Structure 1
Amino acid sequence: MKVKAVLGVYLLSAWYRGAAWLRLLAPLEWIYRYWMRARARAYAAGRKPVWQAPVPVIVVGNITLGGTGKSPLVAWLACWLSEQGYRPGILSRGYAGRSDAYPLRVLADTPASQCGDEPLMLARQTGVPVVVDPVRPRGARRLLQEGCDILIADDGLQHLALGRDLELVVVDGERGFGNGRCLPAGPLREPLARLASCDALIVNGRSRQTMPEPYHEMRLVPRYWRRVCDDTRTPVETPPFDGPVHAVAGIGHPERFFATLDALGLEVEPHPFADHHDFGAADLSFGDGRAVVMTAKDAVKCRDIADGRCWALDVEARPEPAFIDWLAVRLRSLMSDDYLSRSRR
């Protein structure tokens, strides 16, 4: 395991098991909390500008570090909105990507090194316009030029320069909010009190902590195996390989992926990497003939270096019906005559 991955896994473990030594970081946590509070007040008071799009903006984010299942929900939301007759677009920061020019319209063949792994994955999975821009309002305007009539801001909860109409927060049910402390003493990007101002809390998987009420539940359901080099698919019930496998994961919570493989009956040798890891051929070579399985997010970076042994497990988010009903009602409210008057200003 790489040094960065070792440090990341160690720190995440400390946050989520409540290691006592994290109390030493309390002064830094207080400074962080003060800075976040002052920043939010500056936007609320108008001292920092907020740009409001003339169409609805749905933010999907989290208040914890370490992976929550946010991206599958974004993909589900984009597809569901398309089925309802909307023309959605996805806006992303494009973490770990670097482009010479922004905003960047992400296509199926855009290098992940330019746009980041998650935007490329979402563009391929959903087929809707995806734009990457560290300046969120600028990226949102680019999506409007694409004809989008509703925007999904991926991981946009803390990007307050872009106005929003709905805030959806995703939390990992198994790990919850860890020790409940803010960075760097805990995994929280914002204090738990922030949830009171959000529109919906979505819990991914069965919760092991008491969650603030109300909340909705969501599951990640494995759909099929996909060979990374040519996109050949087989049903998840019939793995296209036999015996033990190597499992690689460069995501925020690798253990969840390994647990999913275990639940599917695979004998797994896990290989966790840092989130957004830039894979090389050596990372997929283990000196034997075993199959290598990975997440869809990692697969977009491995297509050119993967051989026939490499397979991705594609999953989809399945929110509970009550959440879908709630969302439909809220969207009808957003599209009311009073709301649409904003687009004519």
Structure 2
Amino acid sequence: MSLAQVIQNAWNRQAKWLVVLRPLSWLYKLGFEANKSLYQNGVKKSYTAPVPVMVIGNITVGGSGKTPLLIQLVHHLKDRNIRVGVISRGYGGQGPFPAYVAADTLPTIVGDEPALIVQSTGIPMAVGPNRQQSIELLLAKHELDLIICDDGLQHWALNRQIEWIVLDNNRGLGNEKLLPEGYLRESIERLNAATVIEHATDPRLDLNMHLEPAQPYLIRAADEQLFNPNLNYYAVVGIGFPKRFYQTLQDLGLSQFQSHEFPDHHDYSIEDLQFEDDHPIITTEKDAVKIMALLQQYPEYQREIWVVPVEAVLSAACYSTLHQQLQDHGIHIS
């Protein structure tokens, strides 16, 4: 098990030994605040795009549900004739950057989440560590009303007009410590400076969302096959908070599955999908985009692999807030 996986597991358990990392958290905070101050004081220059920018991110490391939220917002805006594009860091992608993401672009080039976003929405999207270059690439190809930045909440080089922070109450804020003692990228006071969307099945806030799973589907199926929850499955997952996926499986009626966890954005090899028996695999859509690309190299691979799609369900207050925020920046939704 890698060091990153050990620390991630310790975060999820809120292990007491994490206190030994506190000096590193002090150094992290010092560096973070110094860098932020350089941008705020104009020592480092920030880029302002010619169209409004909305950042959707979180203050924690790992999954919060922001990608399904972003996908749902893109569908909502496209249905209302808002010309929207998306940019992202492209974490896990090898580039070269900036890279335009097409429906058939490999996740090894642009990252798993951008590949999933474009496959799910058909939205114009560009990725790369330099967000200005990604925006300029998008605007050279498309006339856009709005750009959504997937993650990038702490990317001070990009000015933004709207900020949404997804707060996953299923996972919480852990021990409320900064990296690496805890999994906070910023202190909890940051929540006071943005629109907070509560991800919870029993929310306390009007602005909330939850994920609803749809019927699992089979990769490379010649025809439609019915999903059988009564079989034994290998749950293969490489996301920030795998416990959420396990809960989804239980909600679907699965009680017999063996967990095989990998780090977030794991680069799968065919050996990761090999087991001694022929029980099927079940995985997330985010993992599936990389697994499907991998299987193109191994047409002889025969094991069934099932994918569980999820959809973000947003409260009415989320949409009304979004419409008002866009209107405040000159984007009117009919």
TM-score (norm 1): 0.88
Alignment partner of 2:232 out of 244, 251, 266: 244
The structural deviation recorded for 1:224 is 2.7
Q: What letter is aligned with 2:258?
A: E
For residues 270 and 183 of structure 1, the distance between their equivalents in structure 2, rounded to whole angstroms, comes to 26
**SS where residue 22 of structure 2 aligns?**
helix
In the alignment, what sits opposite 1:229? 220
Alignment partner of 1:302 out of 287, 291, 294: 291
Q: What letter is aligned with 1:166?
A: I
**SS where residue 196 of structure 1 aligns?**
helix
- Which sections of structure 1, spanning at least 5 residues, go unmatched? 338-345
Is 1:328 the equivalent of 2:305?
A: no
State whether residues 206 and 315 of structure 2, in contact with CA within 8 Å, keep that contact through their aligned partners in structure 1. no
In the alignment, what sits opposite 2:207? 216
- Post-superposition Cα deviations, 1:28-65, rounded to whole Å, max 9, x if no partner, equal 21111111111111111111111111111110101101
Give runs of aligned pairs for residues 1-345 of structure 1, distance below 5 A: 3-4=1-2, 7-100=3-96, 102-145=97-140, 146-198=142-194, 200-206=195-201, 216-229=207-220, 239-240=227-228, 242-266=230-254, 267-303=256-292, 304-305=294-295, 307=302, 309-335=304-330
- Cα 1:262–1:334, aligned 2, differ >3 Å: closer, same or farther? same
The structural deviation recorded for 1:174 is 1.3
The structural deviation recorded for 1:117 is 0.6
Larger deviation, residues 111-120 vs 21-30: 21-30
Percent of pairs identical after alignment? Answer: 38
The structural deviation recorded for 1:21 is 2.1
For residues 52 and 182 of structure 2, the distance between their equivalents in structure 1, rounded to whole angstroms, comes to 33
- Cα 1:220–1:231, aligned 2, differ >3 Å: closer, same or farther? farther
For residues 18 and 244 of structure 2, the distance between their equivalents in structure 1, rounded to whole angstroms, comes to 24
- Cα 1:123–1:180, aligned 2, differ >3 Å: closer, same or farther? same
Q: What letter is aligned with 1:332?
A: Q
- Post-superposition Cα deviations, 1:92-127, rounded to whole Å, max 9, x if no partner, equal 111111123x22111111111111111001110011
- Post-superposition Cα deviations, 1:241-276, rounded to whole Å, max 9, x if no partner, equal 651111100111111111110121112211111111
**SS where residue 90 of structure 1 aligns?**
strand
**SS where residue 30 of structure 1 aligns?**
helix
**SS where residue 210 of structure 2 aligns?**
strand
Over aligned residues, Cα RMSD in angstroms?
Answer: 2.1
